[in-house]
Amino acid sequence: MVGMPEHHDLTTLLESVDGRGFGSYKRIAGSHDLGRCRLVVDHVQTDPFAPPSLVRVVIGRDAAGLPEDLVADHAGRVATADFLTRAFAAAATRLAPEPSGTGNGGIVSIGRPGQEVLERTHVLIAPDRVEARLAVGLPASGRRVRGRQAARLLTRVLPAIAEEALRHEALDPAVLREHVILHRDQLHLRERLREAGLVAFVGDGAILPRRSGDSDLPMTRGAVPFESPESMRVEFGLPSGRTVTGMGVPEGVTAIVGGGYHGKSTLLRAIERGTYPHLAGDGREWVLTREDAVAVRAEDGRAVTDVDISAFITNLPAGTDTRRFTTGNASGSTSQAAGVVEALGAGASALLIDEDTSATNFMIRDERMRELVPADKEPITPFVERVRSLHADRGVSTIVVTGGSGAFLEVADHVIAVDSYRPHDVTARAHRVAGVAVPSGGTPPGAWPGGRVPAKGALPPPGSRKPAKSRGRSEIRLGRETIDLAALEQLVDPEQTAAIARALDALADLLDGRHVLAAAVGELTRRIDEQGLDALAGRRSHPGHLARPRPHEIHAAVNRYRSLGTLPQRR
């Protein structure tokens, strides 16, 4: 920070309000020229305990000096912005003073990106500028302005952080370039999965176990590097010139089996997260999964509204119409049936299911139970009887982890046994055990349900309520209701949830009572593709800290809104 000039107008203003009421900070709203960068104060917090103020630090593209080839395409801009965001967060940790005083005073935050490289609003790379979007807690003592401390924070500390994090000459150019190249290679490989007839790819040498149950960092001691079975090994050449090898998980039905604690669920978790590119060194940087693969689990107690679950559940004793099933407190089986149908409506090409988080009576029904309870007394057609029809009729593949039942062995195209974190192709042996030469077909339903059509006004418009607001990763407050997203295992960042909250506000105007939900979400996705995540910002110059969610999690949030009104599903 030595040698960084102060901007006298802003410094003078802040010193002039030192000791005054906190509301005096409102006078700093607007743009301030700080010499080598510009500070834009978009929103001033109302009091010391309110959410921090929203500010932007802006430098010109020429001053940033970012190589044009790194930011020439969307993938390059996403990866470069991710790198700058992490660099800014590291510099802020090092250079910003410890928060002090009242409330959030002194906080400088650009968010905390995790192991995934996501499109975010945190750093904007525009044709004419690079800007970092920050949350800054204005210093206070009680409810009095600390003007001199604020002047130092805004006119010296923030420019110093920007110098270190936003200018190419201050960064490690080789590391930045490799970050971008890796991201482009990952997206290229993921895009090639479909043409290769694969659902997922797990690279040789991958480290799949995590450090602990509450950490997403890779295990550093004792982890077994992944090695593909020879029969399933595939190879991809990438735009960078490098070649990667690993296990290709084919389309169709794949069962992952093995003893407890041998790593079968760990493999599935990595495949679930493979819908997102990961950082170098994460261990899962070469685990890539189709972007539209959806994890489905039982969710006891969730709300289900007008979902056609008749492919799995019919003839309920109370005569409930399961073609438009509604409940405010779903059982494990009905919630999982709804989850499968909703994933289909969201356009999933693959389902990822673990028996540990599934309802047993939804997944299987053994011969003894069939003999004890006649078929006409059992309303549930288990998933194992529908899984092949899903692929044959709808083109939807399934990867299922199973360790307590052999029911899926006779319907699986491929069986992977995981032994001490080492995978083995045991398909032929599994079919011999199951007594089948080829997978059996199961029973297709009369028809698979189509997309749901939310009624006009299914989501209350923002003008009639407060804007939807997220709470951490797992909750959104919409009107008077809380939408619980805790079971969405592929929702990996609280800032994705914040973006979904904004998406719900936008969707309220797109649901017209004539089109399926997927059409409205598709239109919103198109806007984000064209305008970036700032499309969710409305008229805000500072969009806040948002990370891009998949359309499937937006669908899931709508589907879990308890007051959702819908029309009959289209077949």
Please state the domain count of the chain.
2
With the C-alpha atoms ordered 407, 361, 254, 271, is the resulting torsion angle positive or negative?
negative
Partnered with residue 140 across adjacent β-strands are: 145
Average pLDDT rounded to a whole number, residues 460-474 = 91
- Name the E strands within 251-298: 253-257, 287-289, 293-295
pLDDT of the residue at 567: 56
* Six-digit token string for 151: 């002047």
Q: Is residue 542 part of a domain?
A: yes
Average pLDDT rounded to a whole number, residues 202-214 = 94
Q: Is residue 214 part of a domain?
A: no
pLDDT of the residue at 124: 97
pLDDT of the residue at 8: 60
Average pLDDT rounded to a whole number, residues 79-99 = 96
Nearest to 378 by CA among 445, 315, 336, 310: 315
Residues spanned by the domain of 73? 8-171
Whether 5 shows a pLDDT value over 60: the answer reads no
Partnered with residue 243 across adjacent β-strands are: 237
Q: Is residue 133 part of a domain?
A: yes
Between these two residues, 23 and 366, which has the higher pLDDT value?
23
Distance CA 80, CA 96 (A): 23
pLDDT of the residue at 175: 98
* Six-digit token string for 441: 């077909």
Partnered with residue 313 across adjacent β-strands are: 380
Q: Is residue 185 part of a domain?
A: no
Domain final position from 123, 154, 171: 171
Binned at pLDDT 50, 70 and 90, residue 2 comes out as: very low
Asked which of 7-11, 314-318, 363-367 is least confident by mean pLDDT, the reply is: 7-11
Binned at pLDDT 50, 70 and 90, residue 3 comes out as: very low
C-beta separation of 401 from 356 below 8 A: yes
Distance CA 347, CA 326 (A): 22
Distance CA 335, CA 516 (A): 21
pLDDT of the residue at 515: 86
Backbone angle region of 227, left / alpha / beta, with phi > 0 → left and psi within -120 to 50 → alpha: beta
What single letter denotes the amino acid at residue 559? N
| CA dist 430 → 200, 289, 338 (Å) | 21, 25, 30
pLDDT of the residue at 6: 45
Average pLDDT rounded to a whole number, residues 247-255 = 98
pLDDT of the residue at 128: 97
C-beta separation of 408 from 400 below 8 A: yes
Q: What percent of the chain has pLDDT over 90?
A: 80
Distance CA 428, CA 513 (A): 50
Average pLDDT rounded to a whole number, residues 420-441 = 92
Our CA angle for 557, 133, 281, nearest 5°, is: 75
- Name the E strands within 14-158: 30-33, 38-43, 53-60, 108-109, 123-125, 129-136, 140-141, 144-145
Q: Is residue 337 part of a domain?
A: no
Binned at pLDDT 50, 70 and 90, residue 533 comes out as: very high
What single letter denotes the amino acid at residue 521? V
Q: Is residue 382 part of a domain?
A: no
Domain final position from 171, 204, 231: 171
Binned at pLDDT 50, 70 and 90, residue 376 comes out as: low
**Secondary structure (3-state) at 550:** coil
Domain final position from 131, 153, 171: 171
**Secondary structure (3-state) at 431:** helix
Q: Is residue 290 part of a domain?
A: no
**Secondary structure (3-state) at 180:** helix
Whether 321 shows a pLDDT value over 90: the answer reads no
pLDDT of the residue at 464: 84
Whether 398 shows a pLDDT value over 90: the answer reads yes
CB neighbours of 402 closer than 8 A, spacing ≥ 6?
255, 256, 257, 355, 408
Whether 370 shows a pLDDT value over 90: the answer reads no
Q: Any idea which residue has 């339903």 for tokens?
A: 445
* Six-digit token string for 101: 């005083």
C-beta separation of 543 from 533 below 8 A: yes
Distance CA 571, CA 506 (A): 26
Nearest to 407 by CA among 390, 428, 430: 430
Between these two residues, 236 and 461, which has the higher pLDDT value?
236
Distance CA 271, CA 269 (A): 5
H or E element at residue 544:
none
Alpha helices in 193-331 (DSSP H): 264-273
Between these two residues, 548 and 112, which has the higher pLDDT value?
548
Q: Is residue 2 part of a domain?
A: no
Q: Give the chain's radius of gyration (CA, Å).
A: 26
Half-sphere exposure of 46 (CA within 13 A, CB side): 1
Q: Any idea which residue has 């509301």 for tokens?
A: 23
